[in-house]
Amino acid sequence: MSGSFGKEDAPIGIFDSGMGGLTVMRALMARLPNERFVYLGDTARLPYGTKSADTVSRYAVQAAGHLVRRGIKLLVVACNTASGVALPALEKAFAPLPVVDVIGPGADAALAASPKGPIAVIATEGTVKAGAYPRAIQARAPDVEVMSQACPLFVPLAEEGLIDGVIAELVAHRYLDPVLAQKPEALVLGCTHYPALKGTIGKIAGPGVALVDSAEIAARTVAKRLADDGLLRGGTAPPGHAFLATDAAERFARVGEIFLGIKPDAVELVDLQ
């Protein structure tokens, strides 16, 4: 595998359980327009957030392994659940490949928005159960109060394109009202699918609560890591991107625009077994 690393022209690999990680890719494309990306959505096994930690780790290693075989120079774990439970396994399996997750950058962004708290985190059941965000935030600021709320229906809502309107608002109220009653100053969108629902979430949270999306901070982290490692892509050739899915490639191409902002190019169906 060592021959895959250290190539400036090699792509950046991104994986998520579905299409939510396209919000991270969108931020990366904006910050690093000269880079090539290969994105893998494990749509056949979506969602990761309701799976056990062992299962998520196994899926994450399989997804990352597929990207590594395509010669990536850096891996972005654009899935909060996988970031929370599978990061050590990924770093061990694919060393010395640089690996960037979304939870560390998300914790930094949350504290930038609310240095003294309280901070609320909404995420999948798996991310909440793992305690990844409270651990990351309190490692940086031990006295900051952090509260968490699982929002399992947000992922299917986002994947179905039901990002506003009555259904989205009713579900959002069901999850957010108990958290907002505790008066947080910042609300972390602790799943890469959730920015698709930012309009609805912001409407319910109100202007006094800062919404924290880790995608931009993660993109900044990736840019710094590439620069530090001398891996920034040079030249003027168009970058070109690849999109992979483990199921429903046509649906991925259609709904992916909600997350990416533009319609993904042709989506290739892959098997991770």
Confirm whether 151 is a catalytic residue. no
Confirm whether 191 is a catalytic residue. yes
- What sign does the dihedral 148-199-42-75 (CA atoms) show? negative
State the Cα–Cα distance between residues 179 and 253, nearest whole angstrom. Answer: 34
Q: How many alpha carbons lie under 13 Å from residue 124 in its C-beta half-sphere?
A: 29
H helices present in 131-272, as ranges? 132-140, 154-159, 166-180, 198-205, 214-228, 249-260
- Encoding tokens for residue 236? 């003027």
State the Cα–Cα distance between residues 150 and 125, nearest whole angstrom. Answer: 5
Catalytic residue among 19, 68, 168, 191: 191
State the Cα–Cα distance between residues 205 and 185, nearest whole angstrom. Answer: 10
Catalytic residue among 25, 79, 120, 215: 79
Strand-pairing partners, residue 187, are 120, 211
Residue 124 and residue 151 in contact, taking contact as beta carbons nearer than 8 Å: yes
State the Cα–Cα distance between residues 146 and 158, nearest whole angstrom. Answer: 25
H helices present in the chain, as ranges? 22-31, 53-69, 80-94, 103-113, 125-130, 132-140, 154-159, 166-180, 198-205, 214-228, 249-260
Q: Which residues are catalytic?
A: 79, 191
